[in-house]
A and B are shown apart, each in its own frame.
Chain A
Amino acid sequence: MTSLHGGSDGIAISSLIERIYEAALDESLWPDVLSRLNAVTDSQAATFWVLDSQDELKLPTFGYVDFDPAFVQEYLDLMAPHDPVNQYLAAHPGERIVRDSAILSETERDRNLLYDWQARKAETRYRVVGTISPMPFVQSGVALHRVRTKGDFEPAQVEQFGLLFRHVGRALEIAFRLGSFGNLQQVTLDLLDRNPLAIALLNDQGQTIFANRTARELRSDEDGVLLTGKGVRLSRASDDRRLQGLITDALNSARDVRTGPGGTMLAPRPSGRRALSILVSPLAAAPFAIAALRPAACVVIADPERSEEPPTQRLQALFNLTPAEARLAARLAMGDELKSAADKIGIRYQSARALLAAIFHKTATTRQGELIKLLVTAVPLIGI
């Protein structure tokens, strides 16, 4: 038996601890951690899992070493919900170290469905489990298994496992935090990418650390906005001075608590297309100092020339319009007058007037201005 306090094994323990935290960042390393835990605690097989007990007991994540794959498959397919250890864990989410010998006596084991099945399929019989509960109804941990011939774990081995599980538990918490951050990140960046406004996040040096899809498109337009890793610039010198001034103001106030809504400006474009509206605003202070990215301010650019015709299908669905009515409504929402809208669609003015009357009726509006406002505000283009 190896002991944590036996000096010569200190290096091995130290390197096992390192490995545990490497696994926190890379799930594929858990089998190696399990093998080393086996060696240190003299167990013969080990598993790593996430247990979900919201409805029926499920193991959505499961890794193992030194078990037969067919045995594991059958366990996951049929036996996991009947495993008394899983049932016990689900009922006692606060416990960190659990031994199956504390749940079932030897004789109870002989009469138990799971242990009876296990006895026929594998040699393992004793288990010690370490677990954390990162959220209600979800637990994650490792289980070490011993074969019948070896007998149950010694108290010293359980104590040793407990010491190492401090690290395993923390590594699992780290993995869950990264996974939660990561999933939310994907969604929020996806939402930013679907925003019709161009959005750039700047760090405390004014360098660009994120640009959404509209911002990237704006850059490729090469029409007055220069967006590089170094920051956001405008091609006209006087406008650029004004923008850099707003950015500096935002960065300075970002260092204090969040102040007002930031500054706005209009940026004319070399092409002569309508000017861009720009908002520069400080962001809530970045909570972490140890981080590769520290967003401090955002630059939001609205392009009035960006074509955003509301999807006619959505207009039809929302207002119960006919396809012809929806086509006309979409043109009106784009700012066209009735006559030019009719021309663009290729219908006569008289027909357009009749369609408009029907649209007014169905949308419960009476004036074109009111209709445009309804169409633009009620058909969210952020369309997640």
Chain B
Amino acid sequence: MRQIIEGSHAVAEAVRLSRPQVIAAYPITPQTHIVERLAEMVADGELNGEYITVESEFSALSACLGASAAGSRVYSATTSQGLALMFEVCFNVAGMRLPILMTIANRSLSAPLSIWNDQQDSISLRDSGWLQFYAEDNQEAMDLHFIAYRVMEDHRILLPAFVCFDGFILTHTYEPVDVPTQDEIDTYLPAFTPYQKLDAQNPLSFGMYATPEYYMEFRYMIDQAMQRSKDVIGKAGREFGEQFGRDYSSLVEEYRMEDAETAVVAMGSVCGTIKDSIDEMRKKGKRVGLLKIRTYRPFPIEEVKKSLQSASTVAVMDKNISLGSRGAVGLEVKDALFGSDISIYDYIVGLGGRDIRKKDVAAIVDLAEKGEGNLFYGLHEEVL
């Protein structure tokens, strides 16, 4: 049913409909409304799972790890400093091949302290072995939870996933979403069948040590699962589209790219603003389009290459910065287009909640077309 609710509550609904058996999370701004609502649902009997209250994010994800190893469908949510505190457990979860779903309400990292949005937190877990999905709006944020569970729990994949949506910009926004029924989700997302689980009758060990003879093979197998997940995501996204009418069969989304000379590349909620800006630029005769990256891990290198091959200029907007290098999406796009003569520029934008307006998108397109890029956009020079 279509209804107007807060983004965090929309995600909580998606989680409820996914029937997690164990939830462990620690509240942190701007993720708080998700876990408050889930705690209410469990207390009111609307969600038939166990909600484990913990004293830190480290414990939250550790509890999830144990519950997942015991064969449960598991959920958590965090952001920023909370995710930073989970760093060690994140690598363990992926290494033990546990399909745990975690919502990231994207927020910048300290210091200086900022509660506002950018995507530095999830990007900093780039190499942890978690799938990473990014949502443009709250409908997409909801839908990606169902798709993520389908993909992660596939026995060919068995990897954890982040569904990332921008803190405050989406978490605290009321907007219309179509909330599926329980029957619809039960059809799309069957109960979790663990590949293997902790069982006293049939003892197994998870996360044992690996000598130099074996460690590389474990990392290789995670990478292979990541590569395989591209097809599995495509299939799960296509089947979601067939059932619900919203198609996610591609890891990217193109907007007015058909004849675009200049392409903007971005992830998350800013893609909405970029689409509106592109409509305005198109009215003035500029041939510009958007390539939205929905899946940062695995990175859709083939789709990016195909989509951008006929553009002459590419402007990547990164809400993160790999300090001492460039933005994380910009680097990937350059890799995808290696050997082409396309001009590719990276723009660091929106860090710590700096607002991004339509006119900023237009200004970035102008800069890229003039050949000026690889810079922090919109700095307040007077305070430097």
A binds B: no
**Interface residue ranges, A against B (CB under 8 Å):** none
